[in-house]
Structure 1
Amino acid sequence: MSEDRKMAIIVSKGTLDMAYPGLVLANAARMLGIEVKLFFTFWGMDVINKKTVDHLKVAPVGNPAMHMPQLAGVLPGATDLATTMMKKQMEKLDFPPVREFLEMVHDAGAEIYACRMAADMMGLTKEDLVPQVDDIVGAMEFLEMAEGAQIIFI
């Protein structure tokens, strides 16, 4: 395995079910010794925002993978039910909560970046983000840092 392998993971969604794929990939890559850079943009900023990271939800509406009628997803409590079910399943599988997973991948050497445009749009500063965020950078700066990396967009 080449020692100069690089992976850049762009996380653009801020739901509980979309937070885990990027973190799982980052963790697996670091375990293989692959350099990892995570870039959180648009709604993905919720995953690294101190105020929202512990309150991510699963939205059943518009998600055909939920295997439930779309109409049921708009009923009061459907989102909370789906979120509770996913959290219980993740707990059974011994997956850490998102905040803890961010700590794990960062401690393993993954670099974590927030999107400058999204941060500005949402009025967020580095102080609003979890401490594992290395910096807030623009898209061009991130692409420069990720040069030569396999890019995965989530």
Structure 2
Amino acid sequence: MLSWTVRPAQLTELPLCAGILEAAARNLQARGESLWPHSAMTVERLTAQYPPASFRLGWLGGQAAATMVLLAADPDFWPDALVGEALYLHKLGVPPEFQGQGLAQLMLEAAVSEARAEGCTFLRLDTTWNRPKLRAIYEQFGFEVRGRKVVHGYDVALYELRV
């Protein structure tokens, strides 16, 4: 079994994060399941949305194999949340060549561990409402739907997991 680790991405590794997300977005688009516009998965566009320190990389046998963003606050989607009660997961991605190995689950487990280490009660995320396969992944992991809303023109399901 190859070694697996998840850690914060270094500034010099942000292109790896963007590349993983872009590859995942292209793969979804090719299957007719667009989630993010792959053109928006550049370092410049991503770091305009998320602080560089929020990116995490999952490493499998020394290769960058997955990425995600963890935020301490997410006022657009969770405006009434108390500071420090949750971490907020965004942009979980696994490139096609690493899919089917359970890496998304391992990334979710790492996010739970980090939320616990930060003293949070919850791990939260949002995802497009009309993505049943993706929603099923989160629900099978234990996330529960906490609402539905439209944010920035996107109809989303809000999910929460007690950690």
Query: One fold, TM greater than 0.5?
Result: no
Q: Which has the higher contact order (CA 8 A, sep 6+)?
A: 1
Q: Which has the larger radius of gyration?
A: 1
Higher strand share: 2
Give me the TM-score of the superposition, normalised by structure 1. Answer: 0.29
Give me the TM-score of the superposition, normalised by structure 2. Answer: 0.28
Higher helix share: 1
